[in-house]
Amino acid sequence: MPLFPPSTNAQYRGAPISAWFLLLSGFLEFVPGCIHYFIPERAITDIAGLNVGHDLSLIVGTFTWMGSMQIPFGLALMIVALRYRTLVPLFLLFNLMERALMSFAGWVWRVPADGHHPPEHYASPVAVVLLTIFLILSLWERTEA
């Protein structure tokens, strides 16, 4: 059995732009994952602007762990967008769930005590809106002319 089964793109009936948005989402998941995994100290202090305090190893380990999840998820999003488009709605939903949970945690449930929000706290609510739009478009079946 091959690693990649045959493509399902011909059977996809949703909006093509939704697949391209999923590809972009995958790239935007993969790149930060690489930053979190390969250069966590820079991601923590320079990009997120977090004060690490005394337990740098714990925070670095957490960022590395997050990156280890973002890299394969980003690759999966890109593979689905390019080769298995019948799964585009499902993976848009997964990405929407991820971003909605991140937004809820960052702005409602686990609000930082110091009031500082890293860039992802601002990007995730925007992503929730965009992912909702593209999910609806992916479910809206095109009619063949």
pLDDT tens digit at each of 145 positions of the chain = 789 999 999 999 999 999 999 999 999 999 999 988 898 777 777 777 777 777 778 888 888 898 999 999 999 999 999 999 999 999 999 999 999 999 998 888 877 777 777 778 889 999 999 999 999 999 998 776 5
| 110 DSSP assignment | S
The whole-number pLDDT of residue 141 equals 82
Specify if 4 maps to a domain: no
Which residues are CB-neighbours of 2 under 8 A, at least 6 positions away?
none
Specify if 95 maps to a domain: yes
Specify if 111 maps to a domain: yes
Specify if 22 maps to a domain: yes
Domain of residue 135: give its range.
14-139
Specify if 3 maps to a domain: no
Specify if 6 maps to a domain: no
For residues 84 and 26, is the Cβ–Cβ distance under 8 A?
Answer: no
The whole-number pLDDT of residue 145 equals 53
Specify if 145 maps to a domain: no
CA distance 99 to 73: 13
Specify if 1 maps to a domain: no
* Count of domains observed in the chain: 1
